């Protein structure tokens, strides 16, 4: 195994540093890819795993102005190394979040909900009544997309893989606010025509899978619609019929949250506006944490294994 639990000295607090007691940190597939060395950013080793989580400020250096003891913070960027009980970090690596949101919402805020928020905001101007289509709709991002879209009156068509517990999954996604849940097989069936009697064809498609399913999803896009790819779980390329390009002028784009954060590192306002919007949705009960399994840190091996199993709809969260 590439992992072991280690006791480290907590470094001295510099004048711009913040001493944080970690409360909870999820295990995301990208965290594991990073460790396997198959991700686009690789930390120098030895490294602490984990890109997401929430902690409480214990102590701040003399020049720290935006944070004080008792504040809750989440990482401002990937690569923080959140799978630890305590850490000392420079102030600019942390973002303050309200303490009155549930700890699991805060722990899972900086990756999936931010990704969902940006993809809904940055590619097409969506108005209430418009629709979008997405695959892997039961993923962390998928669940956030459903809820954020719902809060702004945008309808969602949600594609999931066929599975033994399909009726329960459909019910869960409908409870989050999904308008339609379909399987990959249904994408090419006449039933899709029924759906488009009551809602317009989507202007935006969100793809985290690749392969045949993605091509089928693309067929339902409006002319000049955009498909944004943010993952490739099927490990197959995205195939586009030439006719979709020529006669419907569809646009294909990519999105990586880490890159967005890099591009907006100096743009505190965009980041703050996004965090405010998401925290308000959480406070209003319109955005909830994904289904979570809470695991004490010493059971990290079981949690890592569970993260890599197929059809797992529950996110493993390390309690620190």
User: How far apart, in whole angstroms, are the C-alpha atoms of residue 213 and residue 236?
Assistant: 10
Residue 266 or 204, more confident: 204
* 158 closest CA partner among 101, 193, 121, 205: 205
CB 300 within 8 A of CB 85: no
Strand-pair partners of 251: 226
Exposed, middle or buried by CB within 10 Å (0-12, 13-18, 19+), for 44? exposed
3 state SS of 96: strand
pLDDT score for 302: 86
pLDDT in tens, 196-239: 999 999 999 999 999 999 999 999 999 999 999 999 888 899 99
Strand-pair partners of 293: 316
Q: Which two tokens stand for residue 82?
A: 């959140």
User: How far apart, in whole angstroms, are the C-alpha atoms of residue 280 and residue 98?
Assistant: 10
Q: CA 5 from chain center: how many Å? A: 26
**2, pLDDT greater than 80:** no
What are the DSSP calls for 285-315, one per residue?
TSS-PPPEEEEEGGGHHHHHHHHTSTT--SE
User: How far apart, in whole angstroms, are the C-alpha atoms of residue 252 and residue 226?
Assistant: 6
Half-sphere exposure of 314 (CA within 13 A, CB side): 11
pLDDT score for 311: 63
Exposed, middle or buried by CB within 10 Å (0-12, 13-18, 19+), for 303? buried
User: How far apart, in whole angstroms, are the C-alpha atoms of residue 126 and residue 121?
Assistant: 8
Give, for 108, the enclosing helix (H) or strand (E).
Answer: none
Mean pLDDT score of the chain:
92
pTM over 0.85: yes
- Catalytic center residues: 39
User: How far apart, in whole angstroms, are the C-alpha atoms of residue 81 and residue 3?
Assistant: 13
Region 89-112: mean pLDDT is 95
User: How far apart, in whole angstroms, are the C-alpha atoms of residue 251 and residue 113?
Assistant: 24
pLDDT in tens, 160-180: 999 988 999 999 999 999 999
pLDDT score for 312: 65
pLDDT score for 249: 96
What is the CATH code for 112-257? 3.40.50.720
CB 300 within 8 A of CB 5: yes
Any idea where the domains of the chain sit in the sequence?
17-108+289-319, 112-257
Sorting pLDDT into bands at 50, 70 and 90, what band is 184? very high
What are the DSSP calls for 25-38, one per residue?
EE--HHHHHHHHT-
Region 254-283: mean pLDDT is 94
- Homologous superfamily (CATH) for 17-108+289-319: Medium-chain alcohol dehydrogenases, catalytic domain (3.90.180.10)
Q: CA 28 from chain center: how many Å? A: 9
pLDDT in tens, 103-133: 999 999 999 999 999 999 999 999 999 999 9
Taking the C-alpha atoms of 14, 16, 20 and 26 in order, what is their torsion angle to the nearest 10 degrees? -120
Bridging pattern class, strands 17-26 and 86-90: antiparallel
Sorting pLDDT into bands at 50, 70 and 90, what band is 277? very high
């Amino acid at each position: 195994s590439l992992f072991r639990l280690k006791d480290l000295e907590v470094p001295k607090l510099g004048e711009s540093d913040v001493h944080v007691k970690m409360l909870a940190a999820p295990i995301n597939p990208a965290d594991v890819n990073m460790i396997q060395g198959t991700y686009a950013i690789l930390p120098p080793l030895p490294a602490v795993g984990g890109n997401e989580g929430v902690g409480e400020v214990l102590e701040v250096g003399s020049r720290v102005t935006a944070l004080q003891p008792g504040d809750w913070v989440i990482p401002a960027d990937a690569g923080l190394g959140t799978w630890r009980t305590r850490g000392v970090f420079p102030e600019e690596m942390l973002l303050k979040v309200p303490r009155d949101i549930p700890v699991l919402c805060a722990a899972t805020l900086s990756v999936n909900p931010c990704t969902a928020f940006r993809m809904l905001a940055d590619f097409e101007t969506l108005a209430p009544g418009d629709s979008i289509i997405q695959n892997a709709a039961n993923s962390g991002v998928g669940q956030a997309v459903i809820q954020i879209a719902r809060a702004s009156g945008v309808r969602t068509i949600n594609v999931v893989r066929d599975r033994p517990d399909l009726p329960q999954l459909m019910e869960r996604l409908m409870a989050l606010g999904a308008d339609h849940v379909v399987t990959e097989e249904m994408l090419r069936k006449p039933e899709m025509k029924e759906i488009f009697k009551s809602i317009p064809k989507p202007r935006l498609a969100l793809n985290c899978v690749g392969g045949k399913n993605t091509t089928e999803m693309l067929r339902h896009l409006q002319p000049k619609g955009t498909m944004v790819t943010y993952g490739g779980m099927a490990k197959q390329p995205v195939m586009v019929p030439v006719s979709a390009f020529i006669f419907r002028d569809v646009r294909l784009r990519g999105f990586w949250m880490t890159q967005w954060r890099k591009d907006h590192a100096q743009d505190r306002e965009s980041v703050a506006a996004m965090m405010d919007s998401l925290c308000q949705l959480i406070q209003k009960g319109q955005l909830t944490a994904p289904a979570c399994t809470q695991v004490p840190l010493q059971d990290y091996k079981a949690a890592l294994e569970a993260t890599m199993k197929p059809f797992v709809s529950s996110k493993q969260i390390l309690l620190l």
